[in-house]
Structure 1
Amino acid sequence: MLEGELVRLRALEPEDADKIYGWVHDPEVGRWMVNDYPRSRAQIRKRCEERPVNNYELVVLGIETKAEGELIGIVDLRDADPRVGNAELDIYIGDAEYRGGGYGTDAMRVMCRYGFDAMRLHMITLWVVAGNERARHVYRKVGFSEDGRHREAFVGEGGRRHDMILMSMLKGELT
């Protein structure tokens, strides 16, 4: 397990499916995410049971509180390319009780440290909806810089389009 000040990152277990099902169907969690079509509890459980083993190309970890051991979110590094040392990061705190308490920031730092140190990445990138200022603030706080804008690339509630912001962090820029 990987540990920070507030969180512990661990591999997901099949037993996590019920929590994930609740998060996937929470409008606040999905507001700024590209979501698939609705999935049943059984589909999510099957996906958790059949999840491939974490490897260099895709590392998916559950975020749990260090104090209570409560699963509160998910973070991943995906599409890692060893030839150039880049990967893309995704994160969300699914449990509303833990949003805004520093858990996401801590999880980001732990996962980025893992990417730079254990995976020997040179750069970690992410995409964020321009209107998601709360997430952008967290990303800047841990060392990400805004690199570019993909205009009207995200379709939100009611079909409203939003710009997407590309952010990146190089090894050595983690704060």
Structure 2
Amino acid sequence: MNIIAETSRISIKMLEESDLELIHKWWNDGRVTKHMGFPNGMKVTKEKLHHRFKEQIEEKNKILNTRIYIIYSKEMKKPIGELQYGEADMDKKKCRLGIKIGELDAQGKGNGKEALICFIQYLFNKLKMQLIEIDSFPENERAYNLYMRIGFKEVEILKKFWTDETNKIHDLVMMELKKGDWKFSEVKIKY
């Protein structure tokens, strides 16, 4: 495993080609993606995933505009989700962050919180980010509350931002976390 950071419970590892099968499963499972506005899954093919992540799999030692990582549970002994940074601007030292716990039996057990804290510390300490952005639908209370507890602050609410395939309209809450405001040290991290 090509691990970038870990705690006593989870490891965050670089994406491998063999992980695309799990990404495919998670992205097409409406139970996993409904909180992102895809109640019937994202309907993505394995071919599109391979094309989308080809550079990330081949360019392991390069900071890219976007990169996805796999969350591995040491307790469950399996991959349980993904983390992603995107819209990386190395001049402004900022990026956007995303997280998804794809294994339903791993949700609601603190795995997402621990992985998110670990990854934020990695982004601030190793990639030298100064600002991390994240977003959430207001009705996704679990994610919204987690982001607020960790220290993200609301900066904008985009009204009627997304209409999903069931014609439900969603607002989007934009949030950010500045490195100078990061005070979370609950999780012991190894790089």
Q: Same fold (TM over 0.5)?
A: yes
For 1:61 and 1:37, the matched residues in 2 are separated by 19
Q: How far 1:69 moved relative to its partner?
A: 3.5
C-alpha contact 1:32 1:156 (8 A) present in aligned 2? no
Q: Deviations over 1:54-104 (max 9, x none)?
A: 532323210010234411111011111122111000110000001110000
Q: How many pairs were matched up?
A: 174
2:43 paired with 1:38: yes
Q: How far 1:156 moved relative to its partner?
A: 2.9
Instruction: Give the one of 7, 17, 20 matched to 2:20.
Output: 17
Q: How far 1:109 moved relative to its partner?
A: 0.5
C-alpha contact 1:17 1:48 (8 A) present in aligned 2? no
For 1:171 and 1:16, the matched residues in 2 are separated by 31
Which residue number corresponds to residue 6 of structure 2?
3
One-letter identity of the residue aligned with 2:133: T
Given the superposition, is the C-alpha separation of residues 47 and 5 from structure 1 closer, same or farther in structure 2, using an over 3 Å criterion? farther
Given the superposition, is the C-alpha separation of residues 83 and 43 from structure 1 closer, same or farther in structure 2, using an over 3 Å criterion? closer
Query: Bigger CA drift: 97-106 or 17-26?
Result: 17-26
Instruction: Give the one of 29, 36, 59 matched to 1:26.
Output: 29
Q: How far 1:7 moved relative to its partner?
A: 1.2
C-alpha contact 2:27 2:42 (8 A) present in aligned 1? no
Given the superposition, is the C-alpha separation of residues 51 and 28 from structure 1 closer, same or farther in structure 2, using an over 3 Å criterion? farther
C-alpha contact 1:154 1:163 (8 A) present in aligned 2? yes
Query: Secondary structure in 2 aligned to 1:39?
Result: coil
For 1:48 and 1:158, the matched residues in 2 are separated by 26
- In structure 1, the gaps of 5 or more residues are none
Query: Bigger CA drift: 14-23 or 114-123?
Result: 14-23
CA RMSD of aligned residues (A): 2.1
Q: How far 1:112 moved relative to its partner?
A: 0.5
Which residue number corresponds to residue 50 of structure 1?
54
Query: Bigger CA drift: 160-169 or 148-157?
Result: 148-157
- Equivalent positions of 1:20-169 (< 5 A) are 20-33=23-36, 38-44=43-49, 46-47=50-51, 50-52=54-56, 53-54=59-60, 55-56=62-63, 57-169=65-177
Q: How far 1:113 moved relative to its partner?
A: 0.3
- In structure 2, the gaps of 5 or more residues are 185-191
Q: Deviations over 1:110-166 (max 9, x none)?
A: 111011111111110011111111101111121111111000102235111111000
Query: Secondary structure in 2 aligned to 1:172?
Result: helix
Q: Deviations over 1:29-49 (max 9, x none)?
A: 1112256962234544x3477
For 1:96 and 1:73, the matched residues in 2 are separated by 10
Q: How far 1:173 moved relative to its partner?
A: 2.7
